[in-house]
Structure 1
Amino acid sequence: MWQANPLSKLLPLDMAAIVEAVSTVSAQALEDPARANDEARELTLKLWQNASDTWTAAIARWSGQASPVTDRDKAPGGEVDRRFDAPEWEQNPFFHMMKQTYGLLSEQLLKQAERADLEGSDKQRLAFHLRQLIDASSPTVFLPTNPAALRKAMETGGTSVANGMRQLLADLDAGRLNMTDTEAFAPGRNLALTPGKVVFRNKLIELIQYAPKGEKAHEVPLLILPPWINKYYILDLQPKNSLVAYLVDQGFTVFMVSWKNPDASLEETSLDDYMLDGPIAASDAVRRITGAKQINAMGYCIGGTLLMMTLAALAAKGDDRFSSATLMVSMQDFTEVGDTAVFMDEPHIEFIEKQMLERGYLDSRHMSDMFNMLRPNDLIWGAVVNNYLMGEKPPAFDLLYWNADGTRMARAAHSFYLRNTYIENNLIKPGAITLLGEKLDLRKITQDIYAVGAEKDHIVPWRAAWQVTRLTGGDVRYVLAASGHIAGMINPPAKAKGGHLTNDSTSRPATPDDWLAGAVAKQGSWWADWAQWLAAHSGEKLAVPPMGSKTDKPLCDAPGTYVMER
């Protein structure tokens, strides 16, 4: 029935899983009716006490007396719950009682999940879907129970409601919830502006060489591998927050892989193909253009996983073309993957594979919905309130624009990746994966590695990103950035925001928590720390290489053509 609802196009709720979760806790309550009755009585008393306190405080305010000051409500994780910022949630007894009731019922539901007789991922899945129900049931996401939206409707004479309805109808017609102003940005217009040339192209990549600043640059070039499930320009947004521009300014010769947006014609493209036409072909071109025997490489998220697979295969062949590796929020050990485990069990992977068999690829909407559900209040319900209840235009936000501009995933390669990582965790098992004709063994990777995790990462938990420190034969420097998977990485030093943790101990900590115990907090972005490490692995500064070469002539200006494909 939910799939027949037009709103299912906008709200990626798994209603079947939510119903199953509610049924599970309901059945659990029936198994112990005495405890269920005790809990019901306790909850009823709390609700009555809440009502009494609310009206007592309201009467005190109306009579001019001082009323008790209540603490701000907290969202999961202990942060202030910004959904209830409107003053009416504290000052109006009706809305205050509604907010408190919602909080008590939510708390009780999550307690039931915690007591469920389930283990591991099953218990995690139950709690996740109950939280989805709780977030979807918040009084803030309904017009009659959102005081800020009601106040605006009165102030605008209903114009905000009409605007919200128009935007809802437009989104239903487009089949997606617009979280940002899609007209405000475009690659090549106000995003991906760092000057450069496409100097190589094959069926899977365009290779961008960025124009140097000054007459000298480090002799060892840097090749960047973004995730193949995203457009590369997350690393080259606006000039003020472009990692590429920062690296060029620091005197590095930078090359970027821009992935093809595959369609059904690339259905049989394998992970071997992604390695050969991706990092292997790109590194060949970089070495031809610069004359360097070795290059440095950086991989972001699953781009880092692909890089590590490539390094392991090359190590087995005795190929040392890569001098060092940097991994940004990247996993190799998939033992603990956080809330993404909810979407990466066997039934879900089978569903994804069925979709890919029907289409020849996985639509980017599927992955986008999955990641958005990891932070629903920020990425789904916040947009619902802003766009439909308040009638405001979606904000012009470059990160959200990029997030909505995803790429499709080639069936064969993506199925191989999912099964060998999330399902079987084969990358940490020596010899369990064969790519490029070689059995992969991460222990044979001897390059120095710089790995960075993000403290609040919902996609690659920082403890999972840390695991690379114990998997390879090289020296690994691990740094923990503040914030999340995207904001923690795109944090230019000029903003002087956030912070990061480093641990310079000469002994290798045995666990992530051991590393954390010895870590030192530093203010600001981790970019400067990485640039210093990268410079030490990039040789002296020499005359800058040419843009392209006789065999790799510039084909067009950056950002190229692949990034424009929809």
Structure 2
Amino acid sequence: MPETVDTPTLEELQHWTWVLGRAQQMMMEQGFDLLKDGAAAAAPMSAMAGMPGMASMPEMPAMPGMQVPGMVDPTRAMQATAAFWADSMTLWQRFLDPDHAPPFEETPEQARDKRFKAKAWREEPVWDFLRQSYFMIADHLLKGVDAIEGVDARQKEQIRFATRGFIDAVSPTNFPATNPEVLEKVVETKGESLLKGLQHMMADLAKGQMTQVAPDAFEVGRNLATTPGKVVKRTPLYELIQYAPVTESVYRTPIVIFPPWINRFYILDLTPEKSFIRWAVEQGLTVFVVSWKSADATMKDVVWDDYVERGQIDAIDTVRELLDVPSVHAIGYCVAGTTLAATLAVLAARDEAAKVASATFFTAQVDFSEAGDLNLFVDEEQLKLIRSLGGEGFLDGRYMAATFNLLRGRDLIWNYVTNNYLMGQDYAPFDLLHWNSDVTNLPAKWHLSYLSDLYRDNRLVEPGSIAIGDTPIDLTRVHTPVYVQAGREDHIAPAASVWKITHHFQGPLRFVLAGSGHIAGVVNPPSAQKYQYWTNDGNAATLAEFVAGAKETRGSWWPDWAAWVVAADGEQVPAEGARRPGAGALQALEDAPGSYVRTR
């Protein structure tokens, strides 16, 4: 008997009609809301289409072998075209006659690709064919970029970056009809997953920012940034937070932490088990942290001089006077580390270097000649775009958040498109992603100067090229003991770029290469027993030499840093008087984490 096909019931037809009707209604409602509210809320989202480095990108070759006038050698183009079609024929043979075709050989990177972890991508012929096709075309597109001639190295890197972004964007996992997991979810939920995903997408369009974490899972002061302390000073630029000691005695020289103003300070005070600040307090250190104000129109004239003079030097002097100590240990993270380098040079030029007993740099750069993919985002077109976005004197933090997401688009953009838009999955509670989404506005004038003077022109390493007030900066005058931490997989401040600090400072220096990247490489508590770090007590001239002779240690580098700081000054004093927040000359203004961290 012929196989019978179950016809849908009236109830099922009504349900699917409702799904389609509800989806249409949701999109119409969203459209009316956008028309009513204007494009302001969605501006940062739309900026992703013209992100730094994108508007001025040279045109990307659409397929291997396509001729770009004056850019591709005809012979190499013909070879590339022949190779592409040969691989295509092999792919079809593997699909139509698998027993007589050479097997598909995955690269290690393809084998680890989490986008294709579902069994269907390998066990079902059609999906396997689609996966192999994608990898083959991606490979040839990148080879096509390598074959381009007649462009400078920077332009080729821009093309390569754009090509990688294009490859990630057109992955079959990003489209409902070409993702078996999405189709399975649609059938399983009778279309409810698509509606839920549509809700997620429209909510993100309305707020102009991609959601990456469950919105109500975390709250600053409730389960993030909970280390006990007080705000003891507030200026128009920053709040100074002093943390309460938990040991009977503390080391005499305090710690002053300068986080980047591009992000909120509590990356170093996440949940208690991940908090660097809490851990440092538990080691007997007196810890202060600067919580920068998110920029608004009142900060339209703020420049780098302000972050050095009214920010870092002012905080250092405040802590020295409060605790009656001659010096502090200073920590600078990312851009605040770059600024700390300038601060050290300024103090050295003024014969005040003794104010800083030691300086620690978390993934910070001073020489931007090899600053990685972010360097591709700095050219005249992008500076012009930033000027237009900073008309009120500050740059909306969502713009920078989208920029950093683009550097790891596969993980920080398309992963959420697939899981939360296409499959309608709930957002996971993840403290680090909550922090990543908690954006901070930037002073537009200073941000433009930072990109042009440092990233584009690399002036910080030219003695006297930049001055703070009347004080020229010369990094070679810095003799302060320095601890430098870099992340092996850092895509924002590449380890090779961070290493260049060793070429400029003159004092004793300890370089530590940590496993993982810009965030996880820093936020790696000993209790987690994750990753590793490398040290080398020899005189390595290059990062390659450092790695070749390095000793690997499993786990966190935090204890190594603590031992280094204590070795610089191991004297202890009772944890009383001004060592307790609000008990000294500076009264407690409010409980940590303060007000600036909550300002939007």
Cα drift, residue 355 of structure 1: 2.4
Using the TM superposition, give the Cα deviation of residue 74 of structure 1 relative to its aligned residue in structure 2, in angstroms: 4.5
SS of the counterpart of 2:507?
Answer: coil
Say whether the 8 Å CA contact 1:228–1:407 is kept in structure 2: yes
Deviates further, 125-134 or 33-42: 33-42
TM-score, scaled relative to structure 1: 0.93
8 A contact 1:29–1:36 mirrored in 2? no
Q: 1:9 aligns with which of 45, 59, 64?
A: 45
The answer to which of 7-16 and 492-501 deviates more is 7-16
CA distance in 1, matches of 2:467, 2:143: 45
1:511/1:38 Cα in 2 relative to 1: closer, same or farther (>3 Å)?
Answer: closer
Secondary structure at 2:463 match in 1:
coil
- Closer, same or farther in 2 for the Cα pair 1:166/1:546, shift >3 Å? closer
* Corresponding residue for residue 522 of structure 1: 553
Map Cα deviations across residues 255-291 of structure 1 (whole Å, 9 max, x no partner): 0000001101110012111122211121122112211
Indicate conservation of the 8 Å contact 2:44/2:399, yes or no: no
2:392 corresponds to which of 341, 349, 359: 359
Residue 237 of structure 1, CA deviation: 0.3
Tell me which residue corresponds to 1:104.
136
- One-letter identity of the residue aligned with 2:492: I
Equivalence map 1:289-304=2 (5 Å)? 289-304=322-337
Match in the other structure for 2:356: 322
| 1:41 to 2:102 alignment | no
Contact 2:56–2:381, Cα closer than 8 Å, also in 1: no
Q: Secondary structure at the match of 1:477?
A: strand
2-side partners of 1:534 and 1:8: how far apart?
42
3-state secondary structure, aligned to 1:287? helix
User: Partners in 2 of 1:215 and 1:69 — Cα distance?
Assistant: 67
1:244-259 matches, cutoff 5 A? 244-259=277-292
1:23-66 per-position Cα deviation (integer Å, ceiling 9, x unaligned): 79744389655553443333223222122223444x89xxxxxx
Determine whether 1:238 maps to 2:271.
yes
Most deviating of 180-189 and 451-460: 180-189
Whether the 8 Å CA contact 1:313–1:440 is kept in 2: the answer is yes
Query: Matched residues in 2 for 1:41 and 1:267: separation?
Result: 57
Which residue identity lines up with residue 383 of structure 2 in the other structure?
I
Shift of 1:152: 1.5
Q: CA–CA distance in 2 between the matches of 1:186 and 1:538?
A: 37
Report which of the two structures shows the higher radius of gyration computed on alpha carbons. 2
Quote how far apart the aligned CAs of 1:323 are: 0.6
- Equivalent residues in 2 for 1:279-298 (5 A)? 279-298=312-331
The correspondence for 1:368, drawn from 397, 401, 405, is 401
Match of 1:344 in 2: 378
* Residue 353 (structure 1) shift: 2.7
- Which residue in the other structure is 2:494 paired with? 461
Written as runs of structure 1 = structure 2, the 5 A alignment for 1:493-532 is 493-505=526-538, 507=539, 509-532=540-563
CA gap 1:255/1:8 in 2 versus in 1, 3 angstroms: closer
Confirm or deny that 1:22 pairs with 2:61. Answer: yes
Query: In 1, Cα distance between the equivalents of 2:343 and 2:47?
Result: 38
The alignment status of 1:558 with 2:597, answered yes or no, reads no
TM-score in terms of structure 2 length: 0.88
Q: 2:415: which partner in 1?
A: 382
Aligned to 1:50: 91
Per the alignment, do residues 73 and 158 of structure 1 end up closer, same or farther by CA in structure 2, a change over 3 Å counting?
farther
Matches within 5 A, 1:17-416: 20-22=59-61, 26-28=66-68, 32-33=73-74, 35-57=76-98, 74-75=108-109, 80-117=112-149, 118-319=151-352, 320-356=354-390, 358-416=391-449
Offset at residue 520 of structure 1 (A): 1.2
The one-letter amino acid paired with 1:20 is E
Q: SS of the counterpart of 1:185?
A: coil
- CA–CA distance in structure 2, aligned partners of residues 349 and 36 of structure 1: 35
Question: CA contact under 8 A between 1:10 and 1:176: conserved in structure 2?
Answer: no
Q: What is the alpha-carbon distance in structure 2 between the residues aligned to residue 426 and residue 529 of structure 1?
A: 32
Query: Is the alpha carbon distance of 1:81 and 1:17 closer, same or farther for their aligned partners in structure 2, counting shifts above 3 Å?
Result: farther
Match of 1:123, SS state, is: helix
Secondary structure of 2:496's counterpart equals helix
Q: How many residues align?
A: 551
Query: Could you say if the C-alpha distance between residues 203 and 386 of structure 1 is closer, same or farther in structure 2, counting changes exceeding 3 Å?
Result: same
Following superposition, the deviation at residue 436 of structure 1 comes to: 3.3
Unaligned runs of 5+ in 1: 61-66
Distance change >3 Å, CA 71–CA 290, structure 1 → 2:
farther
Deviations 1:207-263 (A, max 9, x none): 000010121010000000000111100000000100001101111000000000110
Task: Spell out, residue by residue over 1:304-341, the C-alpha distance to the aligned partner (whole angstroms, 9 max, x if none).
Answer: 01111111011100112111000000000011011111
Which residue type is aligned with residue 400 of structure 1? L
Structure-2 residue corresponding to 1:63: none
CA distance in 1, matches of 2:43, 2:299: 32
CA change 1:19–1:331 in 2 (3 A) is closer
Residues 9 and 175, structure 1, Cα contact 8 Å, conserved in 2: yes
Once the 2 structures are TM-superposed, how far is the Cα of residue 398 of structure 1 from its aligned partner? Answer: 0.9
Q: Is contact 1:339–1:374 with CA below 8 Å preserved after alignment?
A: yes
Deviation at 1:11, TM superposition (A): 8.4
1:147-193 per-residue CA deviation (whole Å, 9 max, x = no partner) reads 11111111222221121112122222222211111221111011000
Distance 2:55 2:327 in 1: 52
Which residue pairs with 1:64 in the alignment? none
Change (3 A) 1:445 1:172: same
Secondary structure class of the residue paired with 2:541:
coil
State whether residues 378 and 452 of structure 2, in contact with CA within 8 Å, keep that contact through their aligned partners in structure 1.
Answer: no
Structure 1 residue 548 displacement after superposition: 3.3
Q: Give the AA of the match of 1:493.
A: P
